[in-house]
Amino acid sequence: MADIQHLTLAGADGGQCLVTVCGSAGDGPPVVLMHGMFTDRRFWLSERGIGLAAYLAERGHPVYILQRRGLSDGPDCGRARLGLAEHMTHDIPAVAALVAERHAQPALWIGHSFGGVTAARGLARHVASDAIAGLVLLASQYEQSKRMLDWPGNLVTRGLVRLRGHLPARAVGLGPVDEPAAAAIDACDWVARGRRSSIIRNDLAGLSCPVLAISGSADKVDPTPGCRAFVDATQSLDTTFMEAGTAHGYAQNYDHPGIVVSKDAQREIWPVIGDWLAARS
């Protein structure tokens, strides 16, 4: 098992994130991992040291897990806002600067679900293109499904957030980690505005790095058509799109979390990601 360190990273607005570093002694290109909603750093690296982060570290990559502010055991952010907008605007460039300071090679980025949406927007807006070696999007999109984030369903989500002061993901069966109110409100805004305006598509049009996107055939949270449209909106000349399902030779029709955390994913998906990263190092 690679060595693990936990760092506190401060954004320009004073907000702070927890960054978990795995395999810092590796001499391969650095990799930054970004999780989605209703989860945290443990999505990439379990308490037993199992996960895509450990796998990539074993392949020689220094791995940086960027946990969103305000979650689980992260540092106190004081009065700083705990939204997706701040994560995109302040935290992504902060971790990019940290990685660039430590490593001579440009970083490879991996995002799952809304972590991929946030990564794509943040990289396009706030990180120099020559500092990005590539982006892997796992079940990432905003145009399909997500009815509780779009109007009128998001009225219920916003009401629940106002009532509870946060989005109680555990209580309503959405995932293991509750969301700060600002993150939930931003998710509603991004989906509703993104579907009715060009704000997200304009960001994606500024993204030109190599992109690998993988969707799951059984994913009802982020379905394949939306994931494909998300990639098609970028300006990358090096894109690879894969649908992970039995019709395409995979052991199962992967669902939303299973595309990363299942045992079949360890055998089928992780090596695809590792090989793609190696080819673009």
Does the pTM of the predicted model rise above 0.75? Answer: yes
DSSP H or E stretch at residue 167? strand 166-167
pLDDT band at 1 (very low <50, low <70, confident <90, very high): low
Q: CATH number, domain at 17?
A: 3.40.50.1820
Kindly state whether residue 192 falls inside one of the protein's structural domains.
Answer: no
Total domains in the fold of the chain = 1
pLDDT at res. 37:
97
Kindly state whether residue 138 falls inside one of the protein's structural domains.
Answer: yes
pLDDT band at 281 (very low <50, low <70, confident <90, very high): confident
Kindly state whether residue 180 falls inside one of the protein's structural domains.
Answer: no
Kindly state whether residue 156 falls inside one of the protein's structural domains.
Answer: no
pLDDT band at 26 (very low <50, low <70, confident <90, very high): confident
Kindly state whether residue 182 falls inside one of the protein's structural domains.
Answer: no
pLDDT tens per residue across span 181-206 = 999 999 999 999 999 999 999 999 99
pLDDT tens per residue across span 32-76 = 999 999 999 999 999 999 999 999 999 999 999 999 999 988 999
**Arithmetic mean of pLDDT over the chain:** 96
If one counts every other C-beta atom within 10 angstroms of the C-beta of residue 255, the result is 16
Q: In which domain, by residue range, is 206 found?
A: 4-142+200-279
To the nearest whole percent, how much of the chain has pLDDT over 90?
A: 95
Q: Which of 63, 78, 67, 81 is closest to 118 using CA atoms? A: 67
Q: Supply the DSSP symbol for 27.
A: -
pLDDT tens per residue across span 68-122 = 999 988 999 989 999 999 999 999 999 999 999 999 999 999 999 999 999 999 9
pLDDT at res. 2:
63
Phi and psi at residue 225, in whole multiples of 5°?
-55, -40
CB 102 within 8 A of CB 129: no
pLDDT at res. 195:
98
pLDDT band at 24 (very low <50, low <70, confident <90, very high): confident
| Angle subtended by helix axes 92-102 and 114-126, to nearest 10 | 70
- In this prediction, residues 245-267 reach a mean pLDDT of 98
- In this prediction, residues 166-190 reach a mean pLDDT of 95
Kindly state whether residue 244 falls inside one of the protein's structural domains.
Answer: yes
Residue 135 has pLDDT above 60, yes or no: yes
Query: Who's near 97: CB < 8 A, 6+ residues apart?
Result: none
**Concatenated DSSP letters for 128-139?**
-GGGEEEEEEES
Kindly state whether residue 111 falls inside one of the protein's structural domains.
Answer: yes
Q: Rounded to an integer, what distance in angstroms lies between the CA atom of residue 37 and that of residue 12?
A: 23
Kindly state whether residue 261 falls inside one of the protein's structural domains.
Answer: yes
